[in-house]
Structure 1
Amino acid sequence: MVDSITAPAPTTAPVAGQGSAPDFDAIRAVVRETLAPLTLKIDEGYYPAEVLRALGAAGTFRQHLPSQNGRGTVDIQAALTAMDIVSQECMSTGFMVWAQDVACWYIEMSGNEYLKETLLPKLASGEALGGTALSNPMKYLAGIEPLLISAEETEDAFILNGTLPWVSNLGVDHWFGSIFKVGGENPRDVMAMVNTSWPGMELKQLAKFCGMEGTGTYALSFDNVRVPKSHVLGDPLLPYLKKIKAGFVLLQTGMATGVIEGCINLCEAVEPRFAHVNCYLDDRPDELREELEDARELIEALAGDVFNTDKDFMRSVLEARLLGSELSLRAANAAMLHTGASGYLHDAPAQRKLREAYFVAIVTPAIKHLRKELDVLAAA
């Protein structure tokens, strides 16, 4: 149950209006017809660009964007529902939906009209693809590790150098948001959109993971990469980050709820055969579903207020994200135990869901990162 976490009363967030209603059936059709036949291949390392473009054409990436969704309002809940639908089938793809959503969110929440007119429509439609690259900066801002990208400022650009270990949803001519430390006469942190095909950028695959292999995850090397000032998102950085952070973190809960729903479905599917013995297991599907619906109710309340600057609101967002991680692990464990030996097969959905759930728990902000931030908020 989640009654220990409550969402503060809404303050200034816009309410989703009438206008163009989300077409979740179109997204479900893409999942059923285009994604599902490729799920095992994606799990083994295939990057599904065609699936992402089809999801974009179905409206998946534009739901939270007032300039692109036809409703003129921030609708985080619609974006979460779309991500949930995708993640029930394949959370690798659900994770890439989050990465694409956040790349769009960066631009939508900036004051950069050039990017809003040129790049944002392409990202929102899936014509252009991209990721986030904020794992290291988020850890830097939380006091966990140093910022890994540095820059020199010129009259019309920043020249970037350094290496980022893991950035996802990337490939040739993809986009990502980068935060870098500027030296010189005006030292500060700045955020900008960067293209993987710009001179000096190099993508390297340095490791093979036990899951999430089809997510276009690379180490990025910056060797005097010139980033035009026309691509800056946040300068100064902190006011911009305060604007995007709640949405950035809360959007990840769509991955979690989708994985949890998928795990519950696996448990329910074996009830006709195994209920007589599975009844002795903890975390039964009806119990998990009740907790999931409580979590969804909490997340929906938070999604309607993402510009709330109150400390208690941000604490609720972090707690909801932590809840998603913890419940994902419990649900995936239950799916393995409820399905038994059949869930342990090489291509079984249950073992894939277990690996996906651990990713929910370790992707930035990881469980330990979330608990650290919550501890800092409690002490403030």
Structure 2
Amino acid sequence: MTLDPTLTQWLDTHADALDGGTADPAGVLPRLAQAGLFRLGVPLAAGGAGGNTSDAIEAIAAVAGHSQTAAFVFWGQRVFIEYLLQSPNRALAGRWMGALLDGALAGATGLSNAMKFLGGIEALQVSVRDAAGGWRVDGTVPWATNLHPAGFAVAVAADNLSSGRPGVYAVPSTLPGVTRSDDLDLIGLRSSHTASVRFDAAALDAGWLLHEDAHQFLPCVRPAFLGLQCGLAIGLARRAILAARGRADGARSVLDDELDTLSAAVEAEARRVAEGVDGGEFLAAPRALFGIRIRLVELAMAAVQLELQARGGAAYLHARNGGFARRWREAAFLPIVTPSLVQLKTELARQAQREAA
């Protein structure tokens, strides 16, 4: 996908500052929205540009090739939009979709804990109790991106202590009892508005219910959640391979075959993601998507390693590394994005053990 040249120039100019935290995070959402990126894969009837989810995956990949920070914000916003698209609460979608597509409202996905809950990895960290007209919300989201200090809505899965059935809710930051921490002290992606959120008896109106049954809703949104996340690795891998090719001259031309093989592998996995998400394959076979995400992260890390080899000593000089140092940190982030590679590999190992029993 080809991005708007104005956006590309802005991303390239500010990529290091966005990663290091010296750029204003508030500028990211409006820039992405102005380029129409949040509308990709969103039905025309919902105010989008139409197309498929794979169009949004490719857009995230294109942005990630310039700035992983901006792509991470893009992912959080687009996944929240996906929750509204798949929620039976059409009134909520109608009320907030326009603001999300325009970048006027920041949407954060606090469902990383929920995805681990779905895989039996950990318990839910948020709970609700029935109250007049809705619920009282308590608990913590330890890590979420796109938590704009001026206002956001965060999606959470929560144990309903009254009904005993976990549901999925959108919680606006304007509620009394919702507290956002300072931005987390990350080693990179620092201008991504990444923080934690605490709920202390926050009174949530019933109109903010995304789905009453987390066990039904989470598997439905998981393919988009993980598929869009794959765009982060695809974009970084492509950019590192391109950079390595630009440096692989003379003695370093011995890297050409490795770069060709790596590039072909990235594109093959990118096609598998697009086809599986758009075709619905991963609804019934989520572990196939787990394997693809693991593979893409490994390919992205291998691509950055080849860029290091191609650049040689220049990669270790501030003035000559051409963004390599930032890409090295970005690659280090990919394996720990929830669900992390360790968590995905653990789930695949459990499945193999069950099948072997």
Distance 1:304 1:164, change over 3 A: closer
The structural deviation recorded for 1:125 is 2.2
Contact 2:245–2:256 (CA under 8 A) maintained in structure 1: no
CA contact (8 A) 1:47 1:216 kept: no
Residue 205 of structure 2 corresponds to: 228
Does the residue aligned with 2:143 lie in a helix, a strand or coil?
A: strand
Inter-CA distance 181–84: structure 2 relative to 1 (3 Å threshold): same
Corresponding residue SS for 1:205: coil
Structure 2: segments with no counterpart, 5+ residues = none
Q: Which residue number corresponds to residue 162 of structure 1?
A: 139
The answer to which of 367-376 and 211-220 deviates more is 367-376
- The question of whether the paired residues in 2 share the 8 Å contact of 1:105 and 1:244 is answered with yes
Q: Per-residue displacement from partner, 1:243-289 (whole Å, max 9, x unpaired)?
A: 111111111111111000111111011123xx41462x698322221
Write out per-residue CA displacement over residues 66-96 of structure 1, whole angstroms, 9 at most, x where no aligned residue: 223343x5x1111011111100000111111
The match for 1:315 is 287
Give structure 1 stretches of 5+ with no counterpart: 1-23
Q: Do the aligned partners of 1:60 and 1:79 also contact (CA within 8 Å) in 2?
A: yes
Counterpart of 1:331 (choices 268, 293, 303) is 303
Aligned partner (choices 36, 42, 45) of residue 12 of structure 2:
36
In the alignment, the residues of structure 2 paired with residue 62 and residue 206 of structure 1 have an alpha-carbon distance, to the nearest angstrom, of: 27
Structure-2 change in CA distance of 1:200 and 1:345 (3 Å):
farther
Question: Residues 293, 267 of structure 1: CA spacing in aligned structure 2 closer, same or farther, 3 A cutoff?
Answer: same
Query: Residues 199-256 of structure 1: CA distance to partner in whole angstroms, max 9, x if unpaired?
Result: 1111113742211211111111111111111010010221111211111111111111
- Residues of 1 paired with 2:338 and 2:257: CA distance? 26
- Is the Cα–Cα contact under 8 Å of residues 282 and 288 in structure 2 kept in the other structure? no
Report the counterpart of residue 251 of structure 2 in structure 1.
276
More displaced 10-residue stretch of structure 1: 337-346 or 258-267: 337-346
Q: What's the counterpart of residue 116 of structure 2?
A: 139
**Distance 1:319-1:283 versus aligned 2 partners, 3 A rule:** farther
Whole-angstrom CA distance in 1 between matches of 2:282 and 2:311 = 42
Q: C-alpha offsets along residues 115-142 of structure 1, whole Å, 9 cap, x if unaligned?
A: 1111012112212112101122222222
- In the other structure, the counterpart of 1:65 is 42
Task: Find 1:345's aligned residue among 317, 321, 332.
Answer: 317
How big is each residue's C-alpha offset from its partner over 1:11-52, in whole Å with a ceiling of 9 and x where there is no partner? xxxxxxxxxxxxx55x33243232222111111113433232
CA distance in structure 1 between the partners assigned to 2:304 and 2:224 by the alignment: 26
Q: What is residue 262 of structure 2 aligned with on the other side?
A: 288
Equivalent-residue separation in structure 2 for 1:94 and 1:110 (angstroms):
24
How many Å separate the matches in 2 of 1:307 and 1:276? 44
Q: Deviations over 1:126-168 (max 9, x none)?
A: 1211210112222222222221112211131111112222111
**Identity, % of aligned pairs?**
26
The answer to whether residue 28 in structure 2 is matched with residue 51 in structure 1 is yes
Q: Look up the SS of the partner of 1:144 in the other structure.
A: coil
**What displacement does 1:308 show?**
5.5
AA paired with 1:355?
A: R
Counterpart of 2:107 in structure 1 is 130
Greater relative CO, 1 or 2 (CA 8 Å, sep 6+): 1
Task: Specify whether residues 30 and 140 from structure 1 end up closer, same or farther in structure 2 by C-alpha distance, changes over 3 A only.
Answer: farther
**Aligned: 1:371 with 2:345:** yes
Which of 219, 232, 238 in structure 1 is aligned with 2:215? 238
Supply the distance in 2 between the matched residues of 1:30 and 1:134 (Cα, whole angstroms).
33
Aligned residue for 1:178? 156
Deviation at 1:179, TM superposition (A): 1.1
Deviates more, 1:131-140 or 1:108-117: 131-140
| Corresponding residue pairs, total | 348
Q: TM-score, normalised by structure 2?
A: 0.91
Q: C-alpha displacement at 1:193, in angstroms? A: 0.9
Q: 2:333 aligns with which of 359, 362, 371?
A: 359
Sort the Cα spacing of 1:355 and 1:38 in 2 relative to 1 into closer, same or farther, 3 A.
Answer: same
Inter-partner Cα distance in structure 2 for 1:110 and 1:140: 19
Conserved 8 A contact 1:34-1:51: no
What SS is found at the alignment partner of 1:165?
strand
Q: Deviations over 1:312-350 (max 9, x none)?
A: x32221111111111111111222222122222347411
